[in-house]
């Protein structure tokens, strides 16, 4: 058994420990005194509504709200190899939130990655993407956050190991990987395309997960949207630049739009971290913006070769044994929903035949789905999605490897056999 080289995914170092987590890191600095009940004046109602929409587009609520907690009060723990980071309170509380932040302070954080007191923010807050957001949109988001209920809860300080708790080390990282500047429209493209690019590259910060990082924790510029492992969530964000993975060059624009808006389409369904994005963010976006994003995504240049992430390989003989064993396991457990021929019953039960997410070099996602199951997001257009049951308790590591091997190598799929060791590794990995 051998390991293929890890494609452009090295150890994350220094301040980029949480480079895939979209949160505004204030570092636990308590900058405010007293409590102020902030409310938007009546003449700002439309601005507040626009800000709410844009905050949804930026998926702010996902990281700044603990499950069952007060909205935007922060406190969500993010475990990293360098310690634990905690999302801050961004409610308009004067003592612990951003109640005393001005529009200028907020825009500076979005545009330059600096806090109210000028200190450098950790790149877990995606200011490298948010710098593209216009001042008008930043002001709208600020107005919305000023309108939510203040929560008088302190932001918990990060628990980072030395030297990662030294903010001055961010200067070098920013010099290498941060380029400040609002999005500039491409005059050769349509208005719709430019709107999609603005949302994908800016507020949507899609590249945070779909772009690999280098040894210093910075994005690999030559590998934009080329996919990468999401270390904190143990899922693989597939390449958007290769039709062998999640490349969308041969998708219909409607199928892309359906997937973004509802979480399901005739080409497949989203699970894991992407399901959360659809549930918390994309389902609330207008059809015009969803179509603009789909238009832009469809034009991302496609490459002939898919990336080569870490993948455990089996011998040809053992892979053949797994394939044979997997056929029976599939017939007993999977064919009822996904059909004997692997075509499924879309959009309720996605097809496995000719499914890029099944046969791409990384088998992380199909293994996790068999082990842990899951649901596409519940959205207004698909309020009661059909789910995938977990098989972790019913199937051994070898049996999971066998059925995943079978679906990766059947019906014309061109995936490779899966190692039981990789199943074991993922079985013991955290779910989030």
Q: What is the pLDDT of residues 146-164, one digit of tens each?
A: 999 999 999 989 887 787 7
C-beta neighbour count of 162 within 10 angstroms: 8
pLDDT computed for residue 4 by the predictor: 35
* Calpha distance 22→25 (Å, rounded): 9
> Taking 60 as the threshold, does the pLDDT of residue 133 lie above it?
yes
pLDDT band at 37 (very low <50, low <70, confident <90, very high): very low
pLDDT tens digits along 161-200? 787 788 888 888 788 888 999 999 999 999 999 999 999 9
Quote the pTM value. 0.69
Average pLDDT over residues 2-23: 32
57 falls in which pLDDT band (50, 70, 90)? very high
Q: Is the pLDDT of residue 55 over 80?
A: yes
Asked whether residue 399 carries a pLDDT value surpassing 60, the answer given is yes
DSSP string, 190-250: -HHHHHHHHIIIIIT-THHHHS-B-TTS-B-GGGTTS-EEETTTTEEE--SS-TTTT--TT
pLDDT given at position 2 = 37
| Residue 228 clears pLDDT 70, i.e. is over it | no
Domains in the chain, ordered, with CATH?
14-177 (no CATH), 316-427 (1.10.760.10)
- Which range has the worst mean pLDDT, 127-131, 260-264, 347-351? 347-351
Choice among 43-57, 76-90, 335-349 with the minimum mean pLDDT: 76-90
Residue 339's pLDDT band, with cuts at 50, 70 and 90, is very high
CA distances from 269 to 59, 205, 226, 241, 390 (A): 20, 21, 20, 19, 17
For the chain, the average pLDDT equals 81
Give the burial string for 108-121 (b: 16+ CB within 10 Å, else e): bbbbbbbbbeeebb
Q: How buried is 272 (Cβ within 10 angstroms: 0-12 exposed, 13-18 middle, 19+ buried)?
A: buried
What would the pLDDT profile of 76-106 be if each residue is shown by its tens digit?
887 666 667 788 999 999 999 999 999 999 9
């Amino acid at each position: 058994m051998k390991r293929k080289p890890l494609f452009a995914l090295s150890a994350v170092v220094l301040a980029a420990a949480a480079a895939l987590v979209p949160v505004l890191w204030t570092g636990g600095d308590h900058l405010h005194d007293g409590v102020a009940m902030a409310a938007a004046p009546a003449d700002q109602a439309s601005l507040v509504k626009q800000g709410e929409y844009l905050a949804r587009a930026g998926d702010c609520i996902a990281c700044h709200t603990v499950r069952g907690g007060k909205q935007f009060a922060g406190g969500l723990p993010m475990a990293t190899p360098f310690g634990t980071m905690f999302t801050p309170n961004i409610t308009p509380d004067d003592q612990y939130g951003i109640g005393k932040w001005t529009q200028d302070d907020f825009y500076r954080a979005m545009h330059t990655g600096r806090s109210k007191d000028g200190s450098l923010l950790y790149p877990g807050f995606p200011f490298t993407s948010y710098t593209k957001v216009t001042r008008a949109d930043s002001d709208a988001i600020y107005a919305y956050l000023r309108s939510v209920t203040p929560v008088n809860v302190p932001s918990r300080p990060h628990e980072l190991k030395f030297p990662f708790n030294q903010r001055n080390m961010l200067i070098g990282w920013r010099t290498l990987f941060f380029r400040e500047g609002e999005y500039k429209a491409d005059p050769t493209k349509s208005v719709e395309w430019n709107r999609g690019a603005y949302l994908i590259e800016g507020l949507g910060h899609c590249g945070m997960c779909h772009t690999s990082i280098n040894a210093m924790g910075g994005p690999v510029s030559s590998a934009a949207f080329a996919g990468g492992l999401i270390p904190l969530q143990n899922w693989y964000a597939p390449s958007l630049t290769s039709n062998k993975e999640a490349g969308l060059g041969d998708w219909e624009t409607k199928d892309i739009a359906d997937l973004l808006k509802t979480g399901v389409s005739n080409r497949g369904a989203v699970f894991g971290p992407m399901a959360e994005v659809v549930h918390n963010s994309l389902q609330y976006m207008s059809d015009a913006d969803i179509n603009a994003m789909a238009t832009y995504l469809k034009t991302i240049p496609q490459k002939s070769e898919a990336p080569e992430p870490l993948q455990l390989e089996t011998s040809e003989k053992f892979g053949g044994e797994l394939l044979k064993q997997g056929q029976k396991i599939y017939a007993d457990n999977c064919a009822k929903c996904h059909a004997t021929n692997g075509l499924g019953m879309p959009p309720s039960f996605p097809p496995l035949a000719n499914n890029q997410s099944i046969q791409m070099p990384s088998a992380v996602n199909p293994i996790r789905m068999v082990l842990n199951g899951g649901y596409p997001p519940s959205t207004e257009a698909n309020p009661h999605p059909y789910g995938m049951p977990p098989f972790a308790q019913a199937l051994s590591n070898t049996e999971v490897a066998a059925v995943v091997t079978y679906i990766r190598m059947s019906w014309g799929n061109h995936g490779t056999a899966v190692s039981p060791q990789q199943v074991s590794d993922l079985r013991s990995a955290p779910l989030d």
